[in-house]
Every structure is written in structure tokens, then in C-alpha cells.
Structure 1
Amino acid sequence: MRIGELAQRCGTTTRALRYYESLGLLTARRSANGQREYDESDLRLVAQIRSLTDIGFALEDTRPFVECLRTGHASGDACPASVAVYRRKLAELEEFIGRLTAARDRVRAQLDDAERRSRPCKR
């Protein structure tokens, strides 16, 4: 299939597919007239990339998943390198949640202080 069809079937743009190709995440074969050609396995690669980036993974983080699929695994997360990326991402998210929780607690405490100071005095 050509790049436009792949983009349409994956719900993305040809520009994104060319970018994936420039990063080495997607490999296009070339027809006799130089047009990019893809097959059904490329649908799985792009779907894997998009599902991971949709939940916050950087494109470079998708590389082990793509490589896992390319080696013939049924799932991109069937390889140890993919599991390692999941673990690293989970640790990053937990750290971020911790920082957000601490920031929320500080804002809540400052709000409580502000509300106490702004109450009218009772006589």
C-alpha cells in the first residue's frame, strides 16, 4: 500500500509516517517509480507507535516495541527491552505524581491559610 493509504488506515498523517521513517521506526520499500510502499506488518508497527505515544511515551521509547514486532513477536511488549521501557516510564510517572501531589498539598495549605486570614473578625 502507498503512504496515503497507510496514513488513512492508521488514522495519522503522511508527514508523521515520513518522520517515523526518518527516525528508523518505519521502513518503506520503494516501488520502481520511487514511491513508498508498505505492507500489513507496517500497520501493526504504526499502531504500536501511536498507542504508546498516545499515553505519553516519547517516540524514541517506542523503538524496543517496534524492534520486538519486527523480530516476529505477536506483541511489541513481548521482549525484555520493551518491559524495561514500561518499568522506566512507570517510575517516571510515579515520580511525577509524587511531585504533583506535593504541589497540590502546598497549594491547599496556602489556600487554607489565606482563607483563615481573610475571615472577618468576630466581636
Structure 2
Amino acid sequence: MRIGELAERTGTSRRLLRYYEEQQLITPGRSSNGYREYEESHVGRVLQIKGLLGAGLPTRIIRQLLPCLDKPRSIYFDDLTPEMLSVLEREHDQLTQRIDCLTRNRDAIGGYLETVRGMRAAADAAGRADAAGLSGRTDDGP
């Protein structure tokens, strides 16, 4: 598939796909006329990259992790340095903090929605009761 189709299927701009290529996160083939050609597997890979970027990982870490993510049980680095280990631990801790924050925000929004929906349901029920003349009010005055 061409870059436009990959962009459409992944919700990623062509410019960003070219950036992923520059960062060696994806490697398209080339047709005889020089156009980039992507495989079906690139769709999943691009979505995976977007997810990792969205989680806060930098492209330099993603580039090192991507080969391992195809076979999660065999994740290892032959050349794991203390610096890389430190970076991964820091990224793990930051992701955990972001997940905790997102969970709290999700729960707060869920609570708000529950309250608003309850208020709306009560208002709708009161409106139906008024319309049916069941509100208990009379027009006889105060």
C-alpha cells in the first residue's frame, strides 16, 4: 500500500510516517518508481508506535524496544548498559504515574457523569409527572 493509504488507515499524517521512517521505526519497501510501499504489518506497527509515543516514550527508546515487542517473551538486550536500564526504569515509573493520574481522572469523570445522569433522570421524571398532572401542585394559590 502507498503512504496515503497507510496514513488514512492509521490516522497518521504522511509527514509523521516519513518521520517514523527517519527515526528507523518503520522501513517501507520501494517500488521501481521510488514510491514507498508498505505492508499490511505496517498498520499494526504504526498503531503500536503511536501508542508508545502517546504513553510518553521517546523515539530512541521505542526504536530499541520495537524488535522485542514482536516476541514479548524473548525481550532482552545483548548490549544493555546501566544507562539504558536506568532510562527504562525511569520511563516505567513515569508511565505508572501517568496511568495512576489517568485512572483518577477517569474515575472522577465517571462519578461526575453518574451524578449528572441521576440529576437528569430526576428532572425528566419530574417533567413527566408535571405533564401528567401528578406533581401534587394546585393552582388554588399559595
Q: TM-score range by the shorter chain?
A: 0.5 to 0.7
Query: How far apart in 2 are the matches of 1:2 and 1:51?
Result: 22
What is residue 87 of structure 1 aligned with on the other side? 89
Contact kept? 2:68, 2:76, Cα under 8 Å: no
SS in 2 for 1:33: coil
What is residue 103 of structure 1 aligned with on the other side? none
Q: Could you state the TM-score of these two structures normalised by the residue count of structure 2? A: 0.53
Q: Which runs of 5+ in 1 are unaligned?
A: 97-123
Q: Could you state the TM-score of these two structures normalised by the residue count of structure 1? A: 0.61
Contact kept? 1:48, 1:65, Cα under 8 Å: no
SS in 1 for 2:53: helix
Query: How far apart in 2 are the matches of 1:40 and 1:94?
Result: 32
Shift of 1:64: 2.7
What do you get for the CA RMSD once the two structures are aligned?
A: 2.7
Query: How far apart in 2 are the matches of 1:56 and 1:62?
Result: 10
Q: Which runs of 5+ in 2 are unaligned?
A: 78-84, 99-142
Aligned length: 90
Superposition pairs of residues 31-110 of structure 1, within 5 angstroms: 31-69=31-69, 72-73=70-71, 79-81=75-77, 87-92=89-94
Shift of 1:67: 1.6
Contact kept? 1:28, 1:36, Cα under 8 Å: yes
What is residue 16 of structure 2 aligned with on the other side? 16
Shift of 1:92: 4.3
* Amino acid paired to 1:41: S
Shift of 1:94: 6.7
Shift of 1:4: 0.7
Query: How far apart in 1 are the matches of 2:14 and 2:4?
Result: 6
Shift of 1:93: 5.4
Query: How far apart in 1 are the matches of 2:2 and 2:32?
Result: 13
**What is the percentage of aligned positions where both structures have the same residue?**
42
Cα deviation, 1:29-86, whole Å, max 9, x if unaligned, reads: 11111100000111121111100111111111211332225xx53x5x86235xx675
SS in 2 for 1:20: helix
What is residue 7 of structure 1 aligned with on the other side? 7
Contact kept? 2:56, 2:95, Cα under 8 Å: no
